[in-house]
Structure 1
């Protein structure tokens, strides 16, 4: 099926158009001091016609055992979408909202089909993060530029995120430097578009 730009999408965000939609998927959360868990992510990327995309994500911990090894490239084996009832009963781990936009700032070193991207996210755990990175060839790479947290907010000092479109799925990963730990894997998984 050919790709069509979402109706009313501002031309400024055309490089990000493939992210627009409702997504759900399963992944694995693992970090020092955090119990290894299977998680489900719900992500909504939409727009109101402005030169940006709105982003909302909720990560929930699923009951049950986590396989010893999950191959993020496997078709469906460990990533079958959980039923709505299972998701509704799962504990919310994190929630965030924010805005994505294609930057007008010229960046050296990007290929002609790569575009600079700025992302601002607010996490319910009391953290604000400004990311800078690029989008191109069905891939987004983001690195935190500034992070602040409230007095009781999570002590995170660095974050790196990757998103990639592979055969209609959206693979994602996030690395964190938090609570005195060096930058390392925090969560990864794959998402399926729900509104295809």
Structure 2
């Protein structure tokens, strides 16, 4: 018996798959992990490229958990991260809260079109930011790829393009 492993116990039964809450169903195409590349810039900074991963998950409640991380393409060094919650409503509106690794917090409201698979968000509040005053985000699913555009306004600029990316589900 020396060196032998003890007998394996019976595997635990797999948990039943969660049913998707009706409020989340119109946005269920987001669920899972998306990975790709993006480009950024702004009048006050140099342009840059980055790798990115978004993760959307669901616990059976009327909310989608969201997390995002980016990295430098050449060195893989982490650049940015954020996480939050998306609360779609049956009337086609959505409420989103996002906390960024920089300490900035966004409270956004917007709309979604389940048929066209488009989500448009506009900041209601940008907290803990000395310079950022407004953020908008538009997500679209086109030919199986998720694209987004982020615009930003600061104390020095009006709302202008800041980030854009194209992601594929992994």
Same fold (TM over 0.5): yes
Q: Distance in 1 between matches of 2:65 and 2:43?
A: 31
Aligned length: 152
CA apart distance, 1:30: 0.8
Pair 26,124 (structure 1): closer, same or farther in 2 beyond 3 Å: same
Q: Distance in 1 between matches of 2:132 and 2:32?
A: 29
Following superposition, which runs of at least 4 residues in structure 1 exceed 4 angstroms of deviation? Answer: none
Q: How does 1:77-156 map to 2 (within 5 A)?
A: 89-103=75-89, 115-136=92-113, 137-149=116-128, 153=129, 155-156=131-132
- Equivalent of residue 20 in structure 1, options 28, 31, 34: 31
Give, in whole Å, the separation in 2 of the partners of 1:175 and 1:93.
18
- Alignment map for 1:26-45 (pairs within 5 Å): 26-45=37-56
| Structure 1 Cα separation of the partners of residues 42 and 59 of structure 2 | 36
Deviates most, 168-177 or 89-98: 89-98
Alignment correspondent of 1:175: 151
Q: Is the 8 A contact 1:55 1:99 kept in 2?
A: yes
Query: 1:60 — aligned with what?
Result: 71
TM-score by length of 2: 0.83
Question: Normalising by the residue count of structure 1, what TM-score does the alignment of the two structures yield?
Answer: 0.73
Unpaired segments ≥5 residues, structure 2: 1-16
Contact 1:22 1:44 in 2 (8 A): yes
Shift of 1:43: 0.3
